[in-house]
Structure 1
Amino acid sequence: MIDKLKVAIVGAGIGEEHLQKGFAPAADLFAVTTICDVDHARATAMAARHGIDDVVTSFDDLLERGDIDVIDICTPSKLHFAQTIAALEAGKHVICEKPLVSSLREMDALEETAAAARGLLMPIFQYRFGAGVQKARLIIDSGLAGKPYFGSAETFWRREKDYYANSWRGRWSGEMGGVLVTHAIHIHDLFTHLMGPVDCLFGRIATRVNAIEVDDCASACLQMKSGALASLSATLGSQDQISRIRLMFENVTIESGHVPYAPGREPWTFIPRNDEIGDAINAALADFPSRADGFEYQVRGFHAAIADGAALPVTLADARRSIELASAFYHSARLREDVCLPLGKDHPVYDGWVPAWATKSAAE
């Protein structure tokens, strides 16, 4: 058994949620020793709230330190790729928030670096580990659900001017996208986690709610590899905030809870085709274990991968699927045509979905 892993959290925004919901409940395995943020006052305030003494403002300084085992990257999206590469090359274990990268080219480069690295890399998709989605996965994997017919995923949230007061939000050069990659990416990951891979997609994006560069409304029609049909929809202009997945199978209809920021958690509803199927589902779920979920479950799994060689709870293949879906979505919306997956190196969107003018502007 290895000692507690020492963690530096980089980014005092969502990073605090990682600490509160992940590392603190798993304090038997991890010790968060360092908070890093370019805003020293913000980092100091977060550190003080959690009794942490070490505060730094330079990410590069962390790379040379032998007293840090894990770097948890919770910075603006535009920084994820470069910081993850640097941390892996420095021999650190790395956790990184979504989106991991902004192109399949970067994804390939990251996979190559990770394969040669001493440390492990884990993308964050914590919603997968809610009890509700885990029960749904159990029913599907057992064969009880039967043939998939149709599914839908809805991200109906609200974001207004105050949310975009932060200079990097709402910009291609900062967030690398809008509702698709900043908000709906989690529920789309859950959807494909349960319904399997996408075959073809026809998508639309729009900016209707806020005066921003990126999308804040999106919709798509999908055909899954299984033959099932699906719809994805998202907006940041809903008056009431909900996240919802509804899956129609041969033997059961599965619907998530509607809590906006916890779609993986219970209660999930399972509507059986008949009493016999209902009894089989109840029997399958009767011994479902009570356990940690969300961030805590994911970071505990990360520790097991490091300490015991267990499989990573979320892999680069999982992250690649989400990046490929976003790539296809943006490309379809701009060209107004079907896009079929997988996307190869010769595909026009392999180098990324961020518009060329935004990339050029950021460089200047």
Structure 2
Amino acid sequence: MSRLRVAVIGCGIGRSHITEGYLSNASLFEAAALCDLDPRRMDDLGDAFGIARRETSLDVLLADDGIDVIDICTPPSVHYEQILKSLAAGKHVVCEKPLVGSLADLDAVMAAEAEAAGRLMPIFQYRFGDGIARVKAILEAGIAGKPYVGTAETFWRRGADYYAVPWRGKWKTELGGVLMGHAIHIHDLMNYLMGPIAGVFGRVATRVNPIEVEDCVSASCLMESGALVSLTATLGNQDEISRLRLCFENVTFESDHAPYSPGAKPWTIIPANEAVAAQIDALLADWQPVAPRFETQMRLFHEAIATGGPLPVTSADARRALELVTAFYHSAETRSEVTLPIGPDHPKYRSWLPAGA
């Protein structure tokens, strides 16, 4: 397959998609166009990377047969409409997290995706990197054994400068706080490595910033495997780390603590004994390094489009992430445990936003 021509919609996180995902895979992609409502920001990005085409209307790009992929990097509240319009136009779609603003919207997107010519890939770039890829290989080989417990921590810092961006910190535009915009990555990794969540008891609080949404959360989760997991996040830490520690029957894993790329560097891998260590060494003997974040996710996206094979991240993965968000908010509101999966009969299926938001 020839290079895919990409239009990046939104020039904030879109810059990282270009620098890490498309320029690093220049034989596979061309960043062919930019779209943003802020011409100055668009010009800054376009001038930096030599992208001549700049539009303020998504519809213009959807009508262009020369654009193969729409990469949505806009505020969360507009994702749903932009995804549906892009799929209806026959485009492949890449979309930043959170994919949409409710499970009802996500199920509608999945139905549209099933009928569309193009394919949809949500962004969960933390899944990719040499460290996490080694851990995933050990788990898939069955070496780790039964999962026991896990902890997932997102200890970041955000203040007034971050919330000076008008759409942040508000229910209607950001759709949530630390749970939605920050910890969603580490929580996705917990699902990715330890399997689906069966039950959640969560609490949320706004303690750090004068905003509408939460900036501190904690939860106790029961995994489908029977393992127990704790989730904690804050935007009031004095430094920034992301950390997973996973205890299995035969191996304990701990992530690198880099806040925005915990999968990149080698993880701490502690085997139960020499026999397990020998199995791991044999499995990884001919290991080929895996590039981090967007570089690998976009490369695998191109491979999936070219071959018709599985996408590296799917809308089903995004649904699991938003199920946790939905359960978390409902549990905090009702002070009760919430069972997953969540279907159309759940009171927050159509919106997890609080009444009046």
TM-score range, shorter chain: over 0.9
Q: Distance in 2 between matches of 1:66 and 1:163?
A: 37
Q: Distance in 1 between matches of 2:285 and 2:326?
A: 40
Give the counterpart letter for 2:286 in structure 1.
Answer: D
- The answer as to 2:46 corresponding to 1:47 is yes
Q: Which residue of 2 aligns with 1:129?
A: 128
Q: Distance in 2 between matches of 1:134 and 1:330?
A: 31
Give the counterpart letter for 1:134 in structure 2.
Answer: A
Q: Which residue of 2 aligns with 1:163?
A: 162
Q: Distance in 2 between matches of 1:153 and 1:325?
A: 14
What is the RMSD of the two structures over their aligned residues, measured on CA atoms? Answer: 0.9
Question: What secondary structure is seen at the aligned counterpart in 2 of 1:244?
Answer: strand
Deviations 1:230-254 (A, max 9, x none): 1000000000110000000111110
Q: Distance in 1 between matches of 2:262 and 2:123?
A: 15
CA contact (8 A) 2:91 2:118 kept: yes
Give the counterpart letter for 2:154 in structure 1.
Answer: T
Deviations 1:134-176 (A, max 9, x none): 1111111111111111000000000000000011000001110
Q: Which residue of 1 aligns with 2:140?
A: 141
Q: Which residue of 2 aligns with 1:361?
A: none
Q: Which residue of 2 aligns with 1:272?
A: 271
- The answer as to 2:197 corresponding to 1:208 is no
Give the counterpart letter for 1:107 in structure 2.
Answer: L
Q: Distance in 2 between matches of 1:138 and 1:352?
A: 37
What are the residue-to-residue correspondences of 1:182-331 with 2, within 5 Å? 182-331=181-330
Q: Distance in 2 between matches of 1:235 and 1:292?
A: 28
Which aligned runs of 4 or more in structure 1 are off by greater than 2 angstroms?
A: none
Q: Distance in 2 between matches of 1:311 and 1:199?
A: 25
Deviation, 1:23, is 0.4
What are the residue-to-residue correspondences of 1:90-105 with 2, within 5 Å? 90-105=89-104
Q: Distance in 1 between matches of 2:13 and 2:152?
A: 24
Q: Distance in 2 between matches of 1:83 and 1:210?
A: 30
Deviation, 1:267, is 2.1
Q: Which residue of 2 aligns with 1:8?
A: 7
Q: Distance in 2 between matches of 1:68 and 1:344?
A: 36
CA contact (8 A) 2:133 2:290 kept: no
Q: Distance in 1 between matches of 2:111 and 2:347?
A: 22
Deviation, 1:356, is 3.2
Q: Which residue of 2 aligns with 1:362?
A: none
Deviation, 1:9, is 0.3
Question: What secondary structure is seen at the aligned counterpart in 1 of 2:25?
Answer: coil
- The answer as to 2:110 corresponding to 1:111 is yes
Which segment is superposed worse, 306-315 or 228-237?
Answer: 306-315
Q: Which residue of 1 aligns with 2:337?
A: 338
Q: Which residue of 1 aligns with 2:76?
A: 77
How many residue pairs get matched? 357
Give the counterpart letter for 2:102 in structure 1.
Answer: S
Question: What secondary structure is seen at the aligned counterpart in 1 of 2:24?
Answer: coil
Give the counterpart letter for 2:272 in structure 1.
Answer: R
Deviation, 1:74, is 0.2
Q: Distance in 2 between matches of 1:305 and 1:280?
A: 31
Give the counterpart letter for 1:213 in structure 2.
Answer: E
Q: Distance in 1 between matches of 2:282 and 2:112?
A: 45
Q: Distance in 1 between matches of 2:234 and 2:290?
A: 33
Deviations 1:244-286 (A, max 9, x none): 0000011111000000110111120011111221122122122
Q: Distance in 1 between matches of 2:214 and 2:59?
A: 32
Deviation, 1:352, is 1.7
Deviations 1:190-218 (A, max 9, x none): 11100001111100000000000001000
Question: What secondary structure is seen at the aligned counterpart in 2 of 1:25?
Answer: helix
Q: Which residue of 1 aligns with 2:67?
A: 68
CA contact (8 A) 2:264 2:291 kept: no
Q: Distance in 2 between matches of 1:43 and 1:83?
A: 18
| Structure 2, unaligned runs of 5 or more | none
Q: TM-score, normalised by structure 1?
A: 0.97
Q: Which residue of 2 aligns with 1:35?
A: 34
Q: Distance in 2 between matches of 1:137 and 1:240?
A: 28
Q: Distance in 2 between matches of 1:129 and 1:291?
A: 7
Q: Distance in 2 between matches of 1:355 and 1:65?
A: 40
Which segment is superposed worse, 286-295 or 72-81?
Answer: 286-295
Q: Distance in 1 between matches of 2:348 and 2:308?
A: 35
Deviation, 1:177, is 0.3
